[in-house]
Amino acid sequence: MRRILITGAAGQIGSELTPALRAAFGADNVLATDLRADLDKSCGGGPTAVLDCGDGQALAALVERHRADTIYHLAALLSAVAERRPQDAWRVNMGCLVTVLEVARQKGCAVFHPSSIGAFGPTTPRDRTPQDTIQRPTSMYGVTKVAGELLCDYYHLRYGVDVRGVRFPGIISNVAPPGGGTTDYAVDIYYQAVAHGRYTCYLKPGTFLDMMYMPDALRAAIEVMEADPKRLVHRNAFNVAAMSFAPEDIAAAIRKRLPDFTMDHTVDPVRQAIADSWPRSMDDSAARVEWGWKPRFDLEAMTDDMLRVLTERKRRGELRVG
């Protein structure tokens, strides 16, 4: 049975991956860590610790105390925040990653590291973006994601650290808000539709991006770590895809279920420029062949589920909308 330490456990992915890993491996085998002290509330039962994962000594001590053999390293700044604070993005996204990889090397841990569609740039083929292709991103987030992918490959090749990962598309969920990404509109739109029946989108019509519903993202993170290493040609930074849509497509899917819903646009030039440099859809055949990746949710199934959950929350008076 794996003994897991998660960094960034209170974030968008962490707050749902923590319970999923606890369900799969046993609550006591999963130590949730984050900078935030209110972690106990956000990730259910099981051990927790406050941790700055850039502090190698503190991380190594927790790995030892918990007898962790696997680190899910989720702490990172997302693309829009990274563009506002590029120096912080380098410090957090790269500084913490190299610290985690060093501790993993010394303590013999496997590592999960999420990369992103942000690892691609304007010169990358934008449709059915291949697994192995041009990566010249123009955002600081993208720079840290490409450098992170390379660093993970290096730690595997040079030191044999079993570091694996996927390139996540925009992730949509109804638990924790994303906070600072370019794809966040696709989460916010559902909350605003249920709360107010309207939404102002910061991306232009026609801006297609790869997206994925959280349950699929959680499975991808767990399945790649459990994959048979003999079948892995790539190991790190697998493209994983589920659906590709533009703002008007998600609005139409919502309008099918909430006919009075309306959307307009006030474009944010920073996030629009980032979105315009990212793939419209990724080719995830390497993940499908090497470890059996297959998404379960498309736009229609995701919209049914998001609106069902958020409508029920609104009925109970528990819908919190920014």
Q: Which two tokens stand for residue 7?
A: 């960094």
Region for 213 from its dihedrals, namely left if φ exceeds 0, alpha if ψ lies in -120 to 50, beta otherwise: beta
Residues 271, 186 contacting (CB under 8 angstroms): no
List 72, 141, 190, 199, catalytic entry: 141
CB of 125 to ligand AKB, least distance (A): 18
Nearest to 100 by CA among 69, 56, 162: 56
CB of 81 to ligand AKB, least distance (A): 8
CA distances from 47 to 12, 16, 33, 40 (A): 19, 15, 9, 8
| Residue with smaller CB distance to ligand AKB, 30 or 92 | 92
Encoded amino acid at 307, one letter? L
Active-site residue, 155 included: no
Integer-rounded Cα Rg, in Å, for the chain is: 19
**Residues whose CB falls within 8 Å of the CB of residue 11, separated by 6 or more in sequence, listed in order:** 34, 74, 75, 176, 179
For residue 53, the number of C-alpha atoms closer than 13 Å in the C-beta half-sphere is 29
| Residue with smaller CB distance to ligand AKB, 26 or 215 | 215
| Residue with smaller CB distance to ligand AKB, 170 or 177 | 170
**Residues whose CB falls within 8 Å of the CB of residue 58, separated by 6 or more in sequence, listed in order:** 51, 52
- Residues forming contacts to ligand AKB in the complex (CB under 6 A) are 78-79, 116-118, 141, 168, 170-171, 181-183
User: What's the rounded Cα separation, in Å, for the pair 91 and 89?
Assistant: 5
CB of 230 to ligand AKB, least distance (A): 30
Encoded amino acid at 293, one letter? W
Cβ-closest residue to ligand AKB? Answer: 181
CB of 86 to ligand AKB, least distance (A): 14
For residue 301, the number of C-alpha atoms closer than 13 Å in the C-beta half-sphere is 11
CB of 307 to ligand AKB, least distance (A): 21
Where is 3: in which H helix or E strand? none
Active site positions, annotated: 141
